[in-house]
Chains A and B, each alone.
Chain A
């Protein structure tokens, strides 16, 4: 009996190690495929090179790094205020009667597949931008707009959780001191939940940097340094997504190396967010 229970426990431990093992495997294989190329052409030429011409062996991803940041920055510009507003709405303002209708509606935002968002951007946003702002329409602006909606679920769920985790006495105390409901929200609840909210924004940022399919459909995919929000762009993810289908040899390794850079950025953001939300828990 004792023996059997021991075996069962070890089996569960083995299963439980699967997620960390997968993470290790991902890290290993991406590095194994991509790192030789970085060694071959040099880290500086890879990260700061401005020319990406696979046929000539030129693999510089600086324009893509910049494009990723532009698109993400744009998405956060709209996504943060919208996300915060929705969080406050859901946790403090929503009347129970409309709540049963609006809350599930907001959760559906997370369920819509990214190709659907991309397609919508393609058929609705891009003609609008073409007509009213000029240019090709396929642009950083379109990408940022679509992304700002795609990152909302991440921002909303995590910051709502951190608001919910606050002791009820915070709100009661502020109201008892004569603060209005809004003062309580803005000066007491939001500052108290700050680290969770910041964590949610960082994770939203990770989500924006990592989005691929929707961005391939609406960014236009030209490799060049972004100079305006109306420029067409190619990000780190879309570079992989577009060329992976036919790349081989050095070219394929360069795409994996692009993956390494993306993976690094994401892991840094993840670790920061985990650290922030742990601090909240203590």
Chain B
């Protein structure tokens, strides 16, 4: 009996500690968000969103950095998504476990662990200097495309895996070619999952700083083409905060950044719950 009591006492203490650890983790996260939103939300208004930074960012708003962020993210997705989805299709539909698929998986796993500053160094020497694109939307977008590739590959692969084999069998038995099966059966069924991966990548691109500052620059001039240098919201926030240019503007930019990323991630989580988890 005594033995039993200690067993349950240990269990009680352990479970209590784990509850405390988990709840304090969430509390810290809420504290981080709350502190920045509390100072930042009052700064937000239409004037802030629709005017470009003036006087190094001390006055005005963040319009040009919003444009820069979206332009950069757009390029990253336009390039990264087809490559990622294509890789997932190849891994799932064209090859079984083989030497080539192992090499591809190894490359993807490693790429996922490469720190963003290394992507920044690479993008700087390859796109900015070697390919002579300069600090630009194009250089930054292509660098980000490389960075988000692993996320898109793994979410697309996950959602293609969840498609029941019978879908393919029916398509083939009706005389469909492989290409027809992929474009008319596989891709439409995997679309919600692929979209989730793209959303997560958008979130990551919006928040990225180290790789972007080395490849897209930090110019506050409104971009006019794909080879214009830009400053994204995250870079703007970083510069305002680090150089102590304006606390209000930093909080406002930070709050915008947080709201955007939160909304995007919530939609993604909702999609994952709805379309991916239920089928597997």
Query: A: which residues have CB within 8 A of B?
Result: 1, 4-5, 8-9, 11-13, 15-23, 25-26, 29-30, 32-33, 81-82, 85-86, 88-90, 93-94, 102, 104-109, 111-120, 122-124, 149, 152, 180-183, 186, 203, 206-207, 209-213, 216-217, 237, 240-241, 244-245, 255-256, 259, 262-263, 266-267, 269-271, 273-274
Contacts and interface: CB of A to CB of B under 8 A. Distances in A.
A1 to B, nearest CB: 7
B71 interface: no
Contacts of B230: none
Nearest to A273: B113
A182 B214 contact: no
B25 A149 contact: yes
Interface of B: 7-8, 10-11, 14-15, 17-19, 21-22, 25-26, 28-33, 35-36, 82-83, 86-87, 89-91, 93-94, 100, 103-104, 106-111, 113-122, 124-126, 130, 146, 149-150, 153, 177-179, 203, 206-210, 213-214, 234, 237-238, 241-242, 250, 254, 257-258, 261-262, 264-266, 269
Contacts of A105: 26, 29-30
A241 B29 CA distance: 26
Contacts of A182: 10-11, 14-15
Contacts, number: 243
Given A25-B126, A116-B32, A217-B242, A270 B109 contact: yes
A90 B23 CA distance: 11
Given A111-B265, A115-B207, A115-B238, A180 B7 contact: yes
A85 B149 contact: no
Contact of B35 (A11, A22, A108, A123): A123
A271 B113 CA distance: 10
A180 B117 CA distance: 47
7 contacts: A19-B111, A26-B119, A30-B125, A111-B203, A117-B32, A180-B11, A206-B115
